[in-house]
Amino acid sequence: MTKTALITGATSGFGAATARRFVKEGWKVIVTGRRAERLDALVDELGGASVAHALCFDIQDADATRKAIDSLPADFAEIDLLVNNAGLALGTGPAQECNLSDWMTMIDTNTKGLVAITRILLDKLIERKGAIVNLASIASNWPYPGGNVYGATKAFVQQFSLGIRCDLAGTGVRVTSIEPGLCESEFTLVRTGGNKEAYDKLYSGADPIQPEDIAESIFWVANLPAHVNVNSLEVMPVSQSWSPFAIHRK
Ligand code: 8X3
């Protein structure tokens, strides 16, 4: 039986790569995001309306999310996998210099938006003994300068994943938190406010993870035997590791 995945934030990066990976293996996909033209182009690229369906809404708006899900046509209404990929980082500066509205946008998208669509789809996922893959981050696990609210939202995503796994025990629904490290995608351009110089500097010589690498991880997690649950999966490029603790001296 053909399975269906709903992938949030599919207009670029991990989300678009994940949609391509699953369609390649015969899945149907629902791709969501705010940019209608990009979603429509992705649906065309994936093979059209028989395999892909676009839902255009702002995940920060729980009512819009519910309306979008309610609008799904019958052949896309049964969902086997929710990939909670929509999320963003805004800013790299220290907390004392950050813009409060950027912080609120990250909280609204990365945590409240993710929680809303998860709750809205839970009954459907339980019905299908489905799976949820949440995109957290290495920032869930490791604090770093300038990570402040972004890291906190991703720690929420990771802990929410583990928490709902407890509640879903016995339902057959699997839940995974994936925690990617340095990855080359639009994510960094958004974070730096479109600063291409900062973008190039970050990736220069780093051989970062590519969106396809994370799509592969998601595909692997979602296609393991039904009795196997990967709780969390941290993925870094080989070039990325840890530094010593910082010590501020007088
Ligand atoms: C994205 C990875 O290194 O910017 O979540 O925190 S990082």
Nearest CA to ligand 1 atom 6: 139
In a domain, 106, yes or no: yes
In a domain, 249, yes or no: no
In the block, tokens 């906190």 appear at 152
Q: Give the residue numbers marked as catalytic.
A: 150
In a domain, 82, yes or no: yes
In a domain, 87, yes or no: yes
Residue 157, pLDDT score: 98
Ligand 1 centroid vs 131 CA: distance in angstroms? 24
For residue 186, the enclosing domain spans: 4-235
CA distance 21 to 48: 15
Percentage of the chain lying above the pLDDT 90 cut: 98
Ligand 1 centroid vs 242 CA: distance in angstroms? 13
Ligand 1 centroid vs 77 CA: distance in angstroms? 33
- The CA-atom distances, in angstroms, between 101 and each of 79, 108, 204, 223, 225 are 34, 10, 30, 39, 43
Tens digit of each residue's pLDDT (9 = 90 or more) over 55-110: 999 999 999 999 999 999 999 999 999 999 999 999 999 999 999 999 999 999 99
Here the CATH number for the domain that contains residue 114 is: 3.40.50.720
Nearest CA to ligand 1 atom 2: 181
In a domain, 250, yes or no: no
Q: In the structure, which protein residues have their CB atom closer than 6 angstroms to any atom of ligand 1?
A: 137-139, 180-182
pLDDT over 90 (residue 1): no
In a domain, 241, yes or no: no
User: Which ipTM was obtained for this model?
Assistant: 0.85
Count of positions (residues) in the chain: 250
Tens digit of each residue's pLDDT (9 = 90 or more) over 155-188: 999 999 999 999 999 999 999 999 999 999 999 8
Ligand 1 centroid vs 188 CA: distance in angstroms? 9
In a domain, 100, yes or no: yes
Indicate the top mutation candidate among 148, 150, 201 to test ligand 1's pocket, ranked by most ligand atoms within 8 A of CB. 150
In a domain, 177, yes or no: yes
Burial classification of residue 205, based on how many CB atoms lie within 10 Å of its CB (0-12 exposed, 13-18 middle, 19 or more buried) = exposed
> Total domain count for the chain?
1
- State both tokens at 71: 């609008």
Which letter, b or e, does each residue of 54-91 get, where b requires 16 or more Cβ atoms within 10 Å of its Cβ?
A: bbbbbbbebeebeebbeebeeebebbbbbbbbbbbbbb
